[in-house]
Chains A and B, each alone.
Chain A
Amino acid sequence: MILTYLRRELRRRRRAQLVIAAGLALGIALVLIVNAASAGLRKAQDEVLQSLYGLGTDMTVGKSFQQPGASGEGEEGAEGGDARRPRFDFDAQEGEEQGSDMLMLDSFATLTGDEVATIAGLGDVAGAVGGLSLRDIGVNGSFDPGRIVQGEDGGQDQAEEGQDSGGAAPGGPGGSEGGESRIGGGGAQFDVNQFSVFGADVSRPELGPLAALEVTEGRAFATDETEAEAALVDADYAAENDLAVGGTLTMADTDFEVIGLTTPGTGESTADVVIPLATAQRLSGHEDEVTGVYVQATDSTRLDAVAEAIGARIEDAEVTTADDLADQVSGSLSTAADLADGVGRWLSSLVLAAAFLVAGLLAASSVSRRVREFGTLKALGWTRWRVTRQVLAESLVTGLFGGALGLAVGLGSAWTLTQIRPDLTAELGAGGLGGLGGPGGGGGGPRMGFGGQEAAQSAGRSLDIGLTAPVSADIVVLAVALAVVGGLIAGAFAAWRAARLRPADAFRRIA
């Protein structure tokens, strides 16, 4: 009888049920869409972070720079100073082109191989690899020593000449004035160029920045090429500098074979050149040192514990997690992500509440129009529960229908959004990566980011990420549950109240 009655009611009051279902559907579709969009935004943000970090990297560890004051100014201090301060020796003859370059540490403090091993050995750590961020600074040019000249006018000419030939590099010192004969002119013409170099642990290509690199031409490192003099070159950098696979790149008087060209994969630029870690350590004179450690945790919920353990075991460790990094990403992507996280969630719960309220009111009004009917049933000996159950069944069907409708609309919208893939822009500003790497200045921490310097130099670099709207099964289940519960609540309460009336009272209600 319940079913017969249910079928008849639903068929007869199709329109009212449809309105209620539509109300529920609206709420559910909205929740689905907002959820899918915010999941998409999170995914997009993850992509940005991954490109900054390397796939599968949960956190990076660096060292904060400590002024070597207290520990003494002995050999170590001096050595450190040497390492940071480039010194070029020019011995070429007059006018002759010559060049020199150095691989310099792109950071103020480093970790040791032992420390990397310590981190790798911590609980909850799935893997940890070190990386060495370097900067190759090269000077190319010719140098003119000053000449002894006679006469005042000539001196002036020579000085001007010297200035003219000064070029991009700081001009040579002007001639010293005064006297009948003096050294005049002289100057140098230099190009200073630099590019970023990253020493990567090629034995663990699945961890750290290597994981994010995509080799577009040539090949990647073999895992046994730990000491090879081979390089992966960023495709853009290679194009600018006429480098090709099979060509040769010279750094620190060493010829590297270009084995492959790369793109940053998910988006952010990497270092210009990637070489094996051991080679980088050797050529830069930083044996057994790394500027950063890329850590992957066994479980993303254990990140805090891992960070804490690292802080406890490694002196002056500076741990950066993806969350820290996410705070540094700005632009429409992060604005949208924030929006989805905050306003979106708030809005969707509001709409959901409103949809349920409307559905509830509609259901209540449709129940109140049936008070006499319920009174009749009660007069016939139906219990309050039996009457309520009947309405519950109707509400359940309406709720399921609304859920299905909402699901269809929501999934359709998410699918459409994914097809359109609207572009969002992530701003990876200097300030942003500054927090991570601490470029320039004295107080910065170690440079962690791969290609961080580029971002720092070209402040406001932006990255376009297509937005998708993935829908998770959880949300689908939740939405259906919401619809059913919403439908039930919508009808049940009003029915329970209506069925409470004595039949005589129910009949007196104006229908």
Chain B
Amino acid sequence: MYELTGVTKRYRRGKATVNALDGVSLTVPTGDRLVIKGPTGGGKSTLLQLLGGLDRATSGSVVLDGTDLSRLSEAKLTRLRAERIGFVFQGFHLIPTLSARENVETALVPLGLRTAERRRRAAEALESVGLAERAGHLPDELSGGQQQRVAIARALAKRPQVLLADEPTGNLDESTRDEVMEVLESRWRELGLTFVLVTHDSSLARRADRVATLSGGRISLTERTRGPAGPAPAPPGPPAEAASGDAGQLPAGDVPSDDVPSGGVPSA
């Protein structure tokens, strides 16, 4: 469970400072799924990096299950990333020289597993994303969708508590988007992860129960108690989907805005 209070991230570029995040408060219950959308430059990636411990907030606190990430030492933060966070990037970020299985193994290296156990878990993770036969292939030899599935396997092989995905379908064409999203969704459901997903995909955003919109570094939350027609939105472990720990200010939602960003992304 994530609890963010008054999180601000300020970038300094020369004399100008950019408030990428401006007093964001937010709660993501364990096992919950939060979809973040918003215009480009809105601060989505910045927020996700703070959640994943890839960066530190300028002020405010990012608490994961009682641990304040902004107060952790570099070593502890690294350890936390290794054990508890699974991150999926828009650009895959696979190591080009390593095979699919070896790429998955890189995430297991910091856990200090024995080689055989590492291999077994990597193979298992690849199988769970449907790439068992491609284990020996280099990233170059895989399609974009397959590469992203390798990246998902890499993020999940460590059995994290949290899965963070920053526009995981952003570099993919229409047909592969669904393939990747389905994998993500099924893994989330199966593993009971806390899942934060940044996406411009409006159909997905429409399906989601909780959608946060980041614009100009400020967050606004849209709550849906009732899922649309499709699959029953019944995430397993969560306390209650309705229980909105929205310390998030401005819970009011400009609901129709859901549909807007799908097409033309407004220039920043």
Contacts and interface: CB of A to CB of B under 8 A. Distances in A.
B265 interface: no
Contact of B102 (A8, A13, A504): A8
Of B80, B82, B111, B115, most A-chain CB atoms within 10 Å: B82
B81 A380 contact: yes
Interface string A4-15: 110011011100
Nearest to B49: A504
A398 to B, nearest CB: 15
Contact of B97 (A9, A378, A380, A504): A9
B262 interface: no
Interface string B75-104: 100111111010101000101111000100
B107 interface: yes
A378 B55 contact: no
A168 interface: no
Given A9-B97, A376-B93, A383 B102 contact: no
B54 A379 contact: yes
B83 to A, nearest CB: 7
B110 interface: yes
A380 B107 contact: yes
A382 B109 contact: yes
B209 interface: no
Contacts of A382: 78, 82, 106, 109-110
A503 B55 contact: yes
Contacts of A12: 96-97
A381 B102 contact: no
A382 B154 CA distance: 14
A368 to B, nearest CB: 16
The secondary-structure label for the interface of chain B is: helix
B37 to A, nearest CB: 20
Contacts of A11: 97
A381 B78 contact: yes
Contact of B75 (A377, A383, A505): A383
Given A386-B110, A504-B49, A504-B55, A381 B75 contact: no
A381 B110 contact: yes
A379 B109 contact: no
Contacts of A377: 95, 106
Given A372-B93, A503-B54, A505-B55, A383 B105 contact: no
Given A376-B93, A380-B82, A380-B154, A1 B54 contact: no
Contacts of B105: 1
Given A502-B55, A503-B54, A504-B49, A383 B78 contact: yes
A379 B55 CA distance: 10
A144 interface: no
B107 A381 contact: yes
B39 interface: no
Contacts of A386: 109-110
B52 A381 contact: no
Contacts of B115: 1
B56 interface: yes
Closest 7 CB pairs of A and B: A381-B82, A504-B55, A381-B110, A8-B97, A503-B54, A12-B97, A376-B93
A373 interface: yes
Contacts of A381: 78-83, 85, 107, 110-111, 158
Contact of B54 (A8, A373, A383, A504): A504
Contacts of A383: 75, 78, 110
Of B56, B74, B78, B118, most A-chain CB atoms within 10 Å: B78
B93 A502 contact: no
Contacts of B78: 378, 381-384
B171 to A, nearest CB: 14
A4 B106 CA distance: 11
